[in-house]
Structure 1
Amino acid sequence: MVIGICKEPEGENRVSCLPDVVKQLVQLKQEVWIESGAGERAYASDADYKAVGAHVADQKEVWLHADMLCRMHFPESDELLAQAREKTIWVGMYQPLYHAAEIQKMASRGMTVCSLDAIPRTTRAQSMDVLSSQANIAGYKAVILAAAHYPHYFPMLMTAAGSIQPAKVLVLGAGVAGLQAIATARRLGAVVEAFDTRPAVKEEVMSLGAKFIEVEGAADPSAAGGYAVEQSADYQRRQKEKIAATIAKADIVITTAQIPGKRAPLLVTREMVESMRAGSVIVDLAASTGGNTELTRNGETIVHHGVTIIGNSNLPSTVPADASKLYGRNLLHFLQLLIGKDGRLQFNFEDDIVSAACVVYEGKIRDARILQTVQQA
Structure 2
Amino acid sequence: MKIAVLKETAPGETRCAAIPETVKKFIALGADVAVETGAGTAAGITDADFEAAGAITGDRSAVLGDAGIILCINGPDAADLAGAPAGALLVGALDPLRRRDAVDAYARAGLQALAMEWMPRITRAQSMDILSSQSNLAGYKAVVDAAGAFGRAFPMMMTAAGTVSPARVFVMGVGVAGLQAIATAKRMGAQVSATDVRSATKEQIQSLGAKPIFVENVAGIEGEGQGGYATEMSDEYRAAQAELVSAHIAKQDIVVTTALIPGRPAPRLISDAQVASMRPGSVIVDLAAEAGGNVEGTKAGESVRQHGVTIIGATNLARSLSADSSALFSRNLYNFLSAFWDKDKNAPELADDDEIVVGTRLTKDGKVVSERLAEA
TM-score using structure 2 length? 0.94
- In 1, Cα distance between the equivalents of 2:52 and 2:365? 34
1:79-125 deviations in Å (ceiling 9; x for gaps): 43446454432111123233323222222322211111111111111
- In 1, Cα distance between the equivalents of 2:297 and 2:67? 43
Moved more, 265-274 or 101-110: 101-110
Residue pairs, 1:284-299, within 5 angstroms: 284-299=286-301
1:344 maps onto 2:347 in alignment = yes
2:243 to 241, 244, 251: 241
Counterpart in the other structure of 1:254 = 256
1:73 maps onto 2:67 in alignment = no
Describe the SS at the equivalent of 1:294. coil
Counterpart in the other structure of 2:270 = 268
Counterpart in the other structure of 1:127 = 127
1:317-350 deviations in Å (ceiling 9; x for gaps): 1111111111111111100133211213322122
CA positional deviation for 1:353: 1.2
Counterpart in the other structure of 1:178 = 178
1:357 maps onto 2:347 in alignment = no
Residue pairs, 1:5-44, within 5 angstroms: 5-9=5-9, 10-44=11-45
Letter in 1 for 2:186: R
Counterpart in the other structure of 1:47 = 48
Describe the SS at the equivalent of 2:228. coil
Describe the SS at the equivalent of 1:319. helix
- In 1, Cα distance between the equivalents of 2:40 and 2:235? 47
- In 2, Cα distance between the equivalents of 1:345 and 1:203? 39
Counterpart in the other structure of 1:110 = 110
- In 2, Cα distance between the equivalents of 1:196 and 1:361? 38
CA positional deviation for 1:231: 0.5
- In 2, Cα distance between the equivalents of 1:184 and 1:346? 40
Letter in 1 for 2:372: R
- In 2, Cα distance between the equivalents of 1:176 and 1:314? 14
Listed as ranges, the gaps of 5+ residues in structure 1 are none
Q: Percent identity?
A: 46
Whether contact under 8 Å (1:279, 1:306) holds in the other structure is yes
CA positional deviation for 1:236: 0.9
RMSD, aligned α-carbons:
1.7
Moved more, 83-92 or 144-153: 83-92
CA positional deviation for 1:161: 1.9
Moved more, 346-355 or 17-26: 346-355
Counterpart in the other structure of 2:319 = 317
Whether contact under 8 Å (1:98, 1:261) holds in the other structure is no
Whether contact under 8 Å (1:97, 1:260) holds in the other structure is no
CA positional deviation for 1:48: 1.0
Whether contact under 8 Å (1:227, 1:257) holds in the other structure is no
- In 2, Cα distance between the equivalents of 1:95 and 1:247? 33
- In 2, Cα distance between the equivalents of 1:268 and 1:298? 16
- In 1, Cα distance between the equivalents of 2:220 and 2:165? 34
Whether contact under 8 Å (1:140, 1:181) holds in the other structure is yes
1:338-365 deviations in Å (ceiling 9; x for gaps): 3211213322122211221112223322
- In 1, Cα distance between the equivalents of 2:261 and 2:83? 34
- In 2, Cα distance between the equivalents of 1:242 and 1:83? 57
- In 2, Cα distance between the equivalents of 1:17 and 1:222? 32
Letter in 2 for 1:350: D
1:230 to 214, 229, 232: 232
- In 1, Cα distance between the equivalents of 2:29 and 2:164? 57
- In 1, Cα distance between the equivalents of 2:269 and 2:81? 37
Whether contact under 8 Å (2:78, 2:109) holds in the other structure is no
1:48-98 deviations in Å (ceiling 9; x for gaps): 1111211100123223342221111122x5643446454432111123233
Whether contact under 8 Å (1:221, 1:228) holds in the other structure is no
Listed as ranges, the gaps of 5+ residues in structure 2 are none
Counterpart in the other structure of 1:330 = 332
1:369 maps onto 2:376 in alignment = no
- In 2, Cα distance between the equivalents of 1:188 and 1:60? 48
Whether contact under 8 Å (2:35, 2:56) holds in the other structure is yes
Describe the SS at the equivalent of 1:246. helix
Residue pairs, 1:75-224, within 5 angstroms: 75=76, 77=77, 79-82=79-82, 84-215=84-215, 216-220=218-222, 222-224=224-226
- In 1, Cα distance between the equivalents of 2:149 and 2:131? 26
1:160-212 deviations in Å (ceiling 9; x for gaps): 22221111101001111111100110111111110101111111101111110
- In 1, Cα distance between the equivalents of 2:86 and 2:310? 46
Letter in 2 for 1:355: V
Moved more, 122-131 or 139-148: 122-131
CA shift in 2, pair 1:79/1:332, >3 Å: closer
